[in-house]
Chain A
């Protein structure tokens, strides 16, 4: 399994090429911003009906990561559902699929801004979860350390001999990790953005996901490339 190992607050973590974070010592898998049911919500709002396959695509990738890691704890780091109604409207087959993934595991839904309330699915629902020395929450808080969060859907753009390439990425520094969005229908925010450049320390790394992981100094505000 391809991954980039690093240490945060003494915890040895691995950024997986799929966009999931694995904590071997706790046998814990963390994914962020699944945005399940996004196509349904968009259609409900009168927007164009997107191809209704994103939930099964996201779940099949999650199933694959669970099979590879054999994780006994799963933390979904918020915005797991595009909104609470989208969670309720998931087709029965997809609810059953989630139940099957949950079987025999501890499963935690962290609240996100899209899905603040509890959903009618198994697992625990928490505003945030401390697992010393780390804490799992949806949106990063300045000044915290040992913090695992999501929300921003970070991505990184690099120029490669005349062409440019953009990939979702983990942002990592000595205080925190920001996870890329795991859901199939998710856009992203470039690491150049002011918010991310302010939040992350100067020496932050970006770990690009995709077919393989690649670590690079995080591209920052003011440049299109480091």
Chain B
């Protein structure tokens, strides 16, 4: 085993520190080709990852880049730089540590390319950009180690796929590269190890002591939660009480809107003026940084936040995590709980706050799962081909390449191990010609083959465009929000374009915890002024909605199947017993469908337990079937466990609605024209390089916005239905927003066992759905009708007649 050099032992003992066993173990495995370290937060993961590098560099001089550190967050790279520079300086080591992210100056970047530091801290996107340079072999010459931080988070997204493809390129340049992955607790460590491994090389898994089990419970509130909604306003006094009793509390929410509303209510109730802040991804970067800095200085008693704080800097003072709203996903809950008490070997403390009555059941199911160490996770499936297309273009920027060689490199990446040569060639063809059935403008191919068979960019100008569009993060269309001032007021954050479009001057909404009034829109900036009111007119923008995971849904069904529920509050027990009496309880392996008349409409409730996105898609597909069957559906609403449809005609036999073959046909044909499919297409077409997010400003005339990706989608669907990008879109639609995979899974699980109950009135389980927001009117003729009504109203209001 590599002994720790004296300067290290001195430095450690001067501080009274000891190496943790897993840190020692990482040093011992310094020569393993790949190692995955799974350790709780606060376990000194980062030091464990860097120790072999520091020791190696302390022992002898090294020319050029030695270690590359990759993190999903720019802020983390900057933070690690500070944390590494201190011991390096104090031990007097001649090690240069620098970071390189989107925020690094062009000058510093040029210098780093000419003279790389020993340790470079960067992000997947910056790395992808670096491998696109023609001098990449020189920049990375001598590279020995790669450390990937928060690999569990990267592995769940296309950013991680892009990173692994970039590493396969580095592996070709530096064959002795050692890989280290640092991860929080995950459900399937071997799967993550396969993801990190390169080619046939094995990846060792090192499990650090997970520490004591978390202390987790449901927050006790005297008042019962409401029937629906996500605000959890009923729990504000109890939450405030907990904040007072702890040093620092993180209050997690599932959506930005919920975080804003909760923060607003918390602030109104905060009579003691406790320092409380709000932090989420729609807030301006400067605002967020200010909150983080105050947190680091220990000035805040609580932060109301979203997934924006799932990762990042360790704050030792957090001694309580509160999750508001059902956690939807057990693994994420466990990782959030881990944000509390970063002192190793002290239990993390967490409280769950269900926002409505059904979430009480879901929270209990999640609690049981955490206690049973039963984490969930969806297998990610084969490596996405849109990311591969971008990788091929990036490779082409760096110079001519052989298709066969690149295929071998790519097939060495875990996620792409199953990629066939034909699939690879289709992606290459797409990059070169567009891959259209109609061969056109062949002389203008993007990639062309030289006489020796190697591929290269036809026009060197393309490289600039490709580099400007590297990355897989999809920024939804957002508009900046600013205070209205003569010379550009303070930036507050961003709202979705769709939300902004619904605003009229004078409308008020919440952002960054304050109520603002919409004044005007200038050059795509939403200008607002402060509003003295206490109640915003419009809640706020929507943000991401998570769907309840498959495993958690199964646990909920199992919980509902119990004869009694001693662990649930009485109001919830009464509600569930009533459901049993009036109708029946949804069961695993069966599909319960209830129909009843209410308010002059025929209602049908489908308990699919497939998660919000799939239940929403199910609503679209079933209403389409109902339209075909003459049942005149008018609209529907979906939650994580059910879809409620209303229409004019009674559903007397539910079975024909769930015919798997016709639903699949609906998915292939009718749903293909739907907006969610188009959004899925836009994401893939952007990643694959057909659509560009960024174009050189010289060519942007600013006046004629780029054409909508919907036009490309419609054109392909009409003239080239077999095109690669449509194939990728269909594959992507099995997950994510469309989530058709979970509908398939539900139909297979149910296998025709559909229980249809005609009831005399609304059932207890269906009742909360009547209060849900986010109703979807059935489209088609409806859209033209709505438009006709609205334009007629506007004409009349303006004193004009059509």
A196-226: CB near B (< 8 Å → 1, else 0) gives 0000000101001011101111000011111
C-alpha gap A58/B673 in the complex (Å): 20
B110 within 8 A of A: no
Q: When the two chains form the complex, which single residue of B465, B522, B790 contacts A47, counting CB atoms closer than 8 Å?
A: B465
Contact of A44 among B441, B465, B691, B798 (CB under 8 A): B441
Interface residue B661 (Cβ < 8 Å from any Cβ of A): no
Say yes or no: is A49 at the interface (Cβ < 8 Å to chain B): yes
> Of A39, A152, A163, A226, which is within 8 A of B498 by CB?
A163
Let me know if A51 and B436 touch, CB within 8 A. yes
A48 to B709, CA, bound (A): 13
Please tell me if B59 contacts chain A, counting CB pairs below 8 Å: no
Contact A187 to B690, CB < 8 A, known contacts A49-B446, A215-B795: no
Assess whether B720 is in contact with A51, with CB atoms less than 8 Å apart.
Answer: yes
Which of A21-29, A65-73, A100-108, A154-162 is the contact stretch? Answer: A154-162
Bitwise interface map of B from 488 to 504 toward A, beta carbon under 8 Å scored 1, else 0: 00000000011011111
B500 touches A188 (CB 8 A): no
Contact with A along B457-481 (1 / 0, CB 8 A): 1111110010000000000000000
Nearest Cβ in chain B — how far from A97, in angstroms? 15
A188–B787 CB distance below 8 A: no
Given contact pairs A48-B690, A188-B705, A217 touches B501 in the complex (Cβ within 8 A): no
CB-based nearest B residue for A225: B504
- Judging by beta carbons under 8 Å apart, are A152 and B446 in contact? no
A31-67 Cβ-contact flags toward B at 8 Å (1 or 0) = 0000000011001111111111110110000000000
Identify A224's interface contact among B503, B690, B784, CB under 8 A: B503
- Known contacts A188-B704, A223-B521, A52 near B441 by CB under 8 Å: yes
A153 on interface, CB distance cutoff 8 Å? yes
Neighbouring A residues of B790 by C-beta, 8 Å: 158, 160-161, 216
Q: Is B343 close to A, CB under 8 A?
A: no
Are B715 and A57 touching (Cβ within 8 A)? yes
Known: A46-B459, A48-B446, A57-B719. A187 touches B438 (CB 8 A): no
For the complex, give the distance between the alpha carbons of A153 and B704 in Å: 7
Cβ–Cβ contact B436 & A159, under 8 A? no
When chains A and B are docked, how far (Å) is the Cα of A187 from the Cα of B689? Answer: 18
Contact A215 B802 (CB under 8 A): yes
Within B510-539, which residues are at the interface with A (CB < 8 Å)?
520-522
**Docked pose: A46 CA to B466 CA in angstroms:** 10
Chain A residue with Cβ nearest B774: A162
* Chain B 774-802: CB-based contact to A (< 8 A → 1; otherwise 0): 00000000011011101100110010101
Closest to A42 in B: B444
Give every chain B residue within 8 A of A208 (Cβ-Cβ): 787, 791
Within 8 Å of chain A (Cβ to Cβ): is B15? Answer: no
| Among candidates B498, B500, B712, residue contacting A50 with C-beta atoms closer than 8 Å | B712
In the complex, how many residue pairs between chain A and chain B have their CB atoms under 8 Å apart?
155
Q: Is A189 an interface residue (CB 8 A)?
A: yes
Interface residues of B in 613-629 (CB under 8 A from A): none
CB of B776, distance to nearest CB on chain A (Å): 10
Known: A40-B441, A43-B446, A189-B704. A223 touches B720 (CB 8 A): no
Q: Is the pair A159, B501 in contact by a Cβ cutoff of 8 Å?
A: yes
Check if B436 sits within 8 Å of A161, measured CB to CB: no
Q: Across the interface, do A225 and B501 meet the contact criterion of CB distance under 8 Å?
A: yes
B487 within 8 A of A: no
B297 interfacial contact with A, CB 8 Å:
no
CB closest residue in chain B, given A212? B784
Indicate with 1 or 0, residue by residue over B438-450, a CB within 8 angstroms of chain A CB atoms. Answer: 1011001110000
Residues in A with CB closer than 8 Å to B505 are: 222-223
Contacts of A54 in B (CB 8 A): 715
Cβ-defined contact, A186 with B715, below 8 A:
no
Q: Does B107 count as interface, using CB distance less than 8 angstroms?
A: no
Query: Taking the complex as formed, is A88 at the interface, i.e. its CB lies under 8 A from any CB of chain B?
Result: no
Q: By CB atoms of chain B within 10 A, which of A39, A40, A203, A226 has the most?
A: A39
Q: Is A164 an interface residue (CB 8 A)?
A: yes
CB 8 Å contact bits of B700-733 with A (1 = contact, 0 = none): 0001111110011001101110010000000000
Complex Cα distance, B705 from A212, in Å, reads 24
Residue numbers in B under 8 Å from A91 (CB-CB): 440
| A192 / chain B contacts, CB cutoff of 8 Å | 521
Minimum C-beta distance from B694 to chain A (A)? 13
Q: Is B116 on the interface with A (CB-CB < 8 A)? A: no
Q: How far is the CB of A95 from chain B (nearest CB, A)?
A: 14
- Encoded as 1 (CB less than 8 Å from any B CB) or 0, chain A from 143 to 156 comes to 00000000011000
A182 in contact (CB, < 8 A): no
A52–B440 touching, CB < 8 Å: yes
- Do B719 and A216 touch (CB < 8 A)? no
Q: Which residue from chain A places its CB closest to the CB of B790 in the assembled complex? A: A160
Please tell me which one of the listed residues A50, A184, A189, A217 contacts residue B705 in the complex, with CB atoms under 8 A apart.
A189
Instruction: List the A side residues contacting B715 at CB < 8 Å.
Output: 51, 53-54, 57, 184
Please, which residues of chain A bring their CB within 8 A of the CB of B383? none
Assess whether B521 is in contact with A224, with CB atoms less than 8 Å apart. yes
A9 interface contact, C-beta 8 A:
no
Given contacts A39-B440, A47-B462, contact A195 B501 (CB under 8 A): no
The verdict on A81 contacting chain B, using a C-beta distance below 8 Å, is no
The answer, yes or no, to whether B755 is at the interface (CB within 8 Å) is no
The answer for the CA separation of A226 and B501 in the assembled complex, in Å, is 11
Query: Which A residues touch B433, using CB under 8 A?
Result: 49
Cβ-defined contact, B707 with A187, below 8 A? yes
Cα-based distance from A186 to B704 in the complex (angstroms): 9
Q: How far is the CA of A185 from the CA of B691 in the complex (A)?
A: 13
Contact call A46/B501, Cβ cutoff below 8 A: no
Residues on the A chain within 8 Å of B502, using CB: 159, 162-164, 225
Query: Closest CB of chain B to A73's CB: distance in Å?
Result: 28
Asked if A211 and B795 sit within 8 Å, CB to CB, the answer is no
Give the chain B neighbours of A163 by CB distance below 8 A. 498, 502
Give the Cβ gap from A159 to chain B, nearest Cβ, in Å: 5
Docked complex Cα distance between A47 and B692 (Å)? 9
Closest 10 CB pairs of A and B: A49-B434, A46-B459, A164-B501, A52-B440, A43-B444, A53-B719, A187-B707, A46-B462, A216-B791, A214-B791
Given contacts A46-B461, A53-B719, 17 further A-B contacts (CB under 8 A): A47-B692, A48-B690, A50-B434, A50-B690, A51-B436, A51-B720, A53-B718, A57-B718, A160-B783, A164-B497, A165-B787, A184-B711, A187-B708, A214-B791, A216-B791, A226-B794, A226-B798
Q: Which residues of A contact B (CB under 8 A)?
A: 4, 39-40, 43-54, 56-57, 89, 91, 152-153, 157-165, 184-190, 192-193, 195, 203, 205, 208, 210-212, 214-217, 222-226
Task: Report B's interface with A, CB cutoff 8 A.
Answer: 433-434, 436, 438, 440-441, 444-446, 457-462, 465, 497-498, 500-505, 520-522, 689-692, 703-708, 711-712, 715-716, 718-720, 723, 783-784, 786-788, 790-791, 794-795, 798, 800, 802
22 of the cross-chain contacts (CB-CB < 8 Å) are A40-B444, A46-B459, A46-B462, A48-B690, A49-B434, A49-B436, A49-B445, A53-B438, A53-B715, A53-B718, A57-B719, A91-B440, A158-B794, A159-B502, A188-B704, A188-B705, A208-B787, A212-B788, A214-B788, A222-B520, A223-B521, A226-B794
